[in-house]
Structure formats: C-alpha cells, structure tokens
Amino acid sequence: MNISYTTASTSEELLQILSLQRMNLKSAISIEEMQHEGFVTVEHDFELLKRMNDYCPHIIAKDNEIVIAYALSMTEDFKDEISVLRPMFNELDANHIQNFLTMGQICIAKTHRKMGVFKGLYGAMKKFSYPKYEYIITEVDATNTRSLNAHLAAGFEKLCTYHSLGQDWELISLKIS
C-alpha cells in the first residue's frame, strides 16, 4: 500500500470523491453499518464540489492513483450553498468563532479504514491550511458516534451541542498551529 496525502487538483479526483461519497451516504447504507462504520450526510454535485475546491482545495488520500479518502475544505463563502450547514455557520457566528476553515465532510473507503488515514487527512489539512487559518471547524451528527470519537481522538475539542433540522449536532474544533 502506497498512501499519499495531497490536495485535489483534477476533475478525475473530484469524480472519485463523489463516487466514494455516494457509497457512504446515510441513505445508501444499513442502520447497522451506520452504527458501526459511520456515514456522510451531505451529497454534493460536481459543480459545487469543484467551486469549493477552486477556492480552497480539498484534501485527499490516494493509494497509488485511486482516491481512497477525502476531507472537504469549505470556507464561509459557501455557507449558503448547502442548506443543512447554514445552522452550523449561525452557531459559529453566535459563538464569535473566527479565522477558521470548515472541514465539510470526511470519508474513508471501507478498504482503508483503521489504518491511520483519518489522522493523516487532518495532518495534511493542517499543513495545507497553516498559517492562513487558526482552526479547523466541523460538526458531527450526534448519533454518528464513530465519527465523533475519531474526531476527539484526533485532537478536536467540543465547542457546543446544538439542535437543528430535528437532530443534535456536535460542533467541534481543531487548533492548527
């Protein structure tokens, strides 16, 4: 296995992100798999994913030339583009959080889980974001315990829990420097 971390730079890499995303959507997997493996909530289209990447490149992990994991980069400029994320940005404003990059979604192929790729993605995101940003911010569905525990183990700290769209969300941050 030859895993490397970089930023997404081609349309093919973006298409591979979308393919991996579709396989791990909450709507595409069983309840048992959601509980044990985690899930992703938001489905992006190519145009939005590309615009986000053009502004602040997504972090990807590749095994040879295949994207096996990603961490989507999202700045405040896109806060009105994905309706499910608007409440998170409102919560950030209410808590006066500034100078941050939002990690919009993280996903690892089932074949590459439990190999340190999660921490590798965040290590790369910190490297590519420093010194422009001070924090990486994200939210996790409170029922997605696998993802929340992985984030806390990677050094994220809980900012707050809030309720939106019929569910609870954990708003968490990772200091970059």
pLDDT score for 146: 86
- The whole domain housing 86 covers 3-175
User: Where in 85-156 does DSSP place strands (E)?
Assistant: 100-108, 135-141
pLDDT on residue 126? 95
Residue 35 pLDDT: 82
pLDDT digits (tens, 9 = 90+) for 46-86: 999 999 999 999 999 999 999 999 999 999 999 898 888 89
Say how many domains are in the chain: 1
C-alpha–C-alpha distance, residues 35 and 25, integer Å: 13
The share of the chain scoring above pLDDT 70, in percent, equals: 100
Average pLDDT rounded to a whole number, residues 25-48: 89
* DSSP structure string for 27-64: GGS-HHHHHHH--B-----HHHHHHHHHHSPPEEEEET
Report the CATH number that the domain containing residue 114 is assigned in CATH.
Answer: 3.40.630.30
Q: What is the pLDDT of residue 144?
A: 87
The mean per-residue pLDDT over the stretch 144-167 comes to: 93
For residue 37, pLDDT beyond 90: no
Percent of the chain with pLDDT strictly greater than 90: 78
State yes or no: pLDDT of 107 exceeds 90: yes
How many other C-beta atoms can be found within 10 angstroms of the C-beta atom of residue 105? 22
pLDDT tens digits, residue range 73-83?
999 999 898 88
